[in-house]
Structure 1
């Protein structure tokens, strides 16, 4: 298992040859261990009551590791070795897409094989013996980490060529969100830039503040969206560009953006191919890869302070008239340099970042071309309400009802505990979701009403979705001024709505 840890160290690609040699040498050892664990005496022992499960678990562990070392991992390492020797940069900030196009199928095949083996490992019987339990837990941690990183890399490789205009130039709206004013998909849209891609080259610019888009109307909300987000306040959503992230599904944010885009003088004659939604956390992580950003007053934004600056300090230290421009500068420089001076090390970092940020809803994308969007959605880059029974999730979506920048001070935590597991495979979980206002009374006097809104309180309209194919019961709300929850339907999907008084 320790050997497989080298596969996940994609930030250090100088050791690819060494890891490949070690894996090749390990094939003999894992094959021997697997043969021993499946010998006659072991097979007999696996039938024993209770502790036979421990034998079965050990057999399963050796079988999975043997399969990984002899098949899945070598496939993946071969892809990396090929890409490492390829010319990935075409110069002038352009990514050479041909090696990625050639690697797509192979990395998808390796990823599928690897995911199947990890899933097989995770379905092994629960061990009773301490030594086996510990070995299993350690292996599960390492395998899960490896599976997540390879899956992120594979997913990004599937979407990159289309996104970067391998077959035709593309135009995207880059929607910069401030999660200091929460919306279901992230935060209030402060500004929108234009991203163009063409055969691996990315261009970014034409950032406009939300104020420039407001005169061109709303994003065509549905009746359900009108009822839940506008008719039922206390804050009535405008559905203009500022509030397009109020929808839990990126597809609806994209459709609303396109409707507004087509009415603008700068967008009416330009086809919009899709949207990218980014928040300050994503931009901060990009600066770690692509380099610091220096704003006009000399402040240097890094991979450690960018998010705090854009989510809080910009509202404390700078006038409103400068805020959108500062956000736009950071977004333009960070996103614009994602694929500049690219090599395999940077490419894998960007790929994994896009995957992990999409999982956390710090980054999302949507394409209006159905074929391209299916690839993007399958790779997990289009945020949406729970839709997969295979990968169950509970959806909790918060929209701030106190016009403010209080989101920086509202800390959210969740805790999920499995309660029961039925013989038919059904499972019951207890889910606890907690929002805490961390703003101290002593801080209020130093902050403006622009940040505090009305009294420095978080007033959260919350939508709660059950996992796909599941249900919610015994919902209890405590510790805040809220009405009782009620059952709702938003665009064909049932959910629970908790409203502030």
Structure 2
């Protein structure tokens, strides 16, 4: 737009002035003065990097976007505009490359040696350029991937899993229903939909599982669609689901997409209310309760529940594909869902999967790195839908910094049942039959993933030490601990570990997405400064 071009022009003028004012003989000479030099050098690098971004990175994007409609990615008659993606690959990749190069320069500034008036702005700049670079890299990746994955080079067949967070699994919930979707020429169409009763279970693994997976989750992850999401690694969950569906129906699957009702509610914030064929009106405010709680009182028959859940999910999905409502707001909602790991994607094409693996969409169980990573994964053990009434929260205390950049860290997880006191009076399909826990009480198995190469020192439940049952995924220890919660009860677990070497960074905690919004991948202070 003309406004964007005016803003860009003003930015270019200002950053060029800043760059020229921090260059030259006198400035270079002053940069060699002790105590002062580091600060002047930092300002020079920052000014030069910002000027490079405005002069080289932004113009191709602004000029290309100006020539296109404001709703760049909105489907038209149910088809995504593949030409738009193709047009934007070049300019968005250029912007991404420039930002990556300049972010590297800005991040190389040692802010610890800077004076306060310089340190603060430089650290803020590092954060903002980092955010911009990550966004640009994600956009460039999307432009490259979208045409092929939307069937520009031939039809694709995808498995879409709709996870039910009321019956928790590590990745969110059991796949309450699935759909087979065809992509061709930018258009997505539903071919078939199924529930668990249509698929059943298998006596043998549909694809091989590792000894570590067997020990940590059991063989059902490769035999029962409902348990494929027990693993917190979506790559494996998708491969198991693909194997089960291909074995059952003989349909080659090109990739797997997973969404949950909370993600659908975020999308409804943009599309506006939608009316289902039976007259039910779904809104951003009522979708989660309707799909994860009230449906069980309304439809006592499990088959009817599955049908309603599948129909609602597909209707919202189709409405998004039709571009209804404020599409910008719809995309913002779906972006929030991706950030919370409520929307996950896996491709059977190795090159595409390599690109996806660099994004939150991949839902990977991360291995290695300087940041110690914890995972808090909640799994229902009641055979119920009681996690609609469960909340959890996690914090990490940095106990001390050790040799070789190891840290002693304490992860604290608090589980709280929000079930009403008369929970036993809820429909049986919500509370369960009482076989695995008293009716109205919920039992969950927590799988706590410790950082790569770490040593588990202790586990406490409500302040009392307990025996640690553990498994292993890659080089990450997995601690398994059950918890039984009556209505209103709270259970606290504290896991203390010593990380592997070369992990001096801030701790990061990934958790199972529940039925309420939350912040995924929270960061906590390092013990090593």
The TM-score bracket by the shorter chain reads: 0.7 to 0.9
Q: Helix, strand or coil: the match of 1:99?
A: helix
State the partner residue of 1:304: 285
**Alignment partner, residue 154 of structure 1:** 140
Given that 2:58 and 2:95 are in contact with CA atoms closer than 8 Å, whether structure 1 keeps it comes out as yes
Which whole-Å deviations, capped at 9, do the CAs of 1:51-97 have from their partners, x for residues lacking one?
A: 65444443333233222211222233234334438986784311231
Q: Render the CA deviation track for 1:99-148: whole Å, top value 9, x for unaligned.
A: 31232233223223223323443443226644434434554554444344
Structure 2 portions without partners, runs of 5+: 484-529
User: After superposition, where does 1:296-335 map in structure 2 within 5 Å?
Assistant: 298-315=279-296, 318-321=299-302, 322-335=304-317
- In structure 1, what is the Cα distance between the partners aligned to 2:16 and 2:4? 18
Between the aligned partners of 2:259 and 2:238, the Cα distance in structure 1 is 13
Residue 403 (str. 1) matches residue 383 (str. 2): yes
User: Matches of 1:103 and 1:56 in 2, distance apart?
Assistant: 36
Structure 2 counterpart of 1:259, from 229, 239, 243: 243
- Determine the C-alpha separation between the residues in 2 that align with 1:393 and 1:351: 29
Cα deviations by residue, 1:272-322 (Å, 9 ceiling, x for unpaired): 212111111221222233342223564422233323432334345543533
Superposition deviation, residue 499 in structure 1: 2.5
Instruction: Report the CA distance shift for 1:245/1:88 in structure 2 as closer, same or farther (over 3 A).
Output: closer
Is residue 427 of structure 2 the alignment partner of residue 444 of structure 1?
A: no
Residue pairs, 1:428-443, within 5 angstroms: 428=407, 430=409, 432-439=411-418, 442=421
Q: Distance in 1 between matches of 2:145 and 2:74?
A: 18
2:488 alignment counterpart: none
Matches within 5 A, 1:338-417: 338-341=320-323, 346=327, 356-387=336-367, 389=369, 393-415=373-395
Mapped contact 1:413–1:435 kept (Cα < 8 A): yes
1:288 to 266, 269, 275: 269
Question: Are the equivalent residues in 2 in contact too, given 1:72–1:113 (CA < 8 A)?
Answer: yes
Q: d(CA) in 2 for partners of 1:460 and 1:48? A: 60
Find out whether 1:230 has 2:210 as its counterpart. no
Structure 2 distance, partners of 1:474, 1:43, is: 53
What are the ranges of 5 or more consecutive residues in structure 1 without an aligned counterpart?
1-15
Change (3 A) 1:419 1:333: same
Q: How much does 1:186 deviate?
A: 1.9
Change in Cα spacing, 1:376 to 1:432, as seen in structure 2 (3 Å) is same
Counterparts of 2:32 and 2:80, CA distance in 1: 56
Deviates more, 1:394-403 or 1:428-437: 428-437
Partner Cα separation in structure 2 for residue 120 and residue 320 of structure 1: 61
- Answer whether contact 1:156 1:351 (CA < 8 A) is retained: no
Which of the residues 96, 99, 124 maps onto 2:84? 99
Q: Distance in 1 between matches of 2:213 and 2:105?
A: 42
Q: CA RMSD in A?
A: 3.6
- Tell me the distance in 1 between the aligned counterparts of 2:14 and 2:450: 48
Distance 2:384 2:72 in 1: 48
What is the CA deviation profile of residues 378-431 of structure 1, one whole-angstrom value per residue up to 9, with x for unaligned ones? 44432221146388744333322232223233323334577889999x575846
Q: Give the drift of 1:44.
A: 5.0
- Whole-angstrom distance in 1 between the partners of 2:111 and 2:75: 51
Range with bigger deviation, 246-255 or 125-134 = 125-134
Shift of 1:472: 5.0
Find out whether 1:74 has 2:59 as its counterpart.
yes
Q: Which residue of 1 aligns with 2:233?
A: 249
Return the TM-score normalized by structure 2: 0.77
What per-residue deviation string (whole Å, max 9, x for no partner) do you get for residues 12-49 of structure 1?
A: xxxx4312222223222212212323455554555555
Question: Are residues 283 and 352 of structure 1, via their aligned partners in 2, closer, same or farther at CA, if it must alter by over 3 Å?
Answer: same
Question: In 2, are the aligned partners of 1:156 and 1:354 still within 8 Å (CA)?
Answer: no
Aligned to 2:255: 274
Matched residues in 2 for 1:89 and 1:351: separation? 9
Does the CA-based 8 Å contact 1:79-1:107 persist in structure 2?
no
Aligned length: 473
Using the alignment, how far apart are the partners of 1:420 and 1:55 within structure 2? Answer: 35
* 2:527 alignment counterpart: none
d(CA) in 1 for partners of 2:202, 2:456: 43
Please say if 1:29 is aligned against 2:14.
yes
Q: Give the whole-Å Cα distance in 2 for the aligned partners of 1:157 and 1:349.
A: 20
SS at match of 1:22: helix
